[in-house]
Homo-oligomer: A and B are copies of this chain.
Amino acid sequence: MKFSKIVETSIYSSNLEKMKEFYVGKLGLDFVSEQKGRHVFLKTDKNMLLIFNHETTITEKETNHGAPTPPSMVHIAFEIGSGEYEKAKKLLVDSNIQVEKEIEWENSIKSRSVYFRDPAGNLVEFITKNYWGVKD
């Protein structure tokens, strides 16, 4: 399989307002959405910068990807082709990589994500393209 890009990179802070002011107000990244106290989602032309507050997400019983991610771990997502979801999942199964969760997003293009862990415990995702509306 070819991965065109890392489409999501996550970083973490307990002060999201300060991070938003820095990345949007100073550096000039585009604001996409936020949930106060939990996350701020920003973008460049071609990929997303997701900023999460570990202090909030660690207390969540159920997150998108299943169990909360320990604060020391990070999250990245690789973009896959729209028709490559089953192939990508097969790659995981064939490699004995445990699937943590699958999601069918409620959008018009029926985006799909599958989550798993790397050996360091980082949360890795394959997500079908065009979910975020960033450029190719």
Contacts and interface: CB of A to CB of B under 8 A. Distances in A.
A45 B2 contact: yes
A119 interface: yes
A119 B13 CA distance: 8
A26 B119 CA distance: 12
A27 B91 contact: yes
B46 A46 contact: yes
Interface stretch (A60-68, A71-79, A103-111): A71-79
Task: Classify chain A's interface size.
Answer: 35 or more
A34 to B, nearest CB: 16
Contacts of A119: 13, 15, 18-19, 22
A120 B52 CA distance: 11
B72 A74 contact: no
B120 A44 contact: no
14 contacts: A2-B45, A3-B28, A3-B29, A4-B45, A4-B46, A5-B5, A5-B44, A5-B46, A6-B6, A19-B118, A22-B97, A22-B118, A26-B91, A28-B91
Sorted nearest first, the 9 A-B pairs with minimum C-beta distance are A13-B120, A5-B46, A26-B95, A3-B44, A18-B119, A9-B9, A4-B45, A5-B44, A6-B47
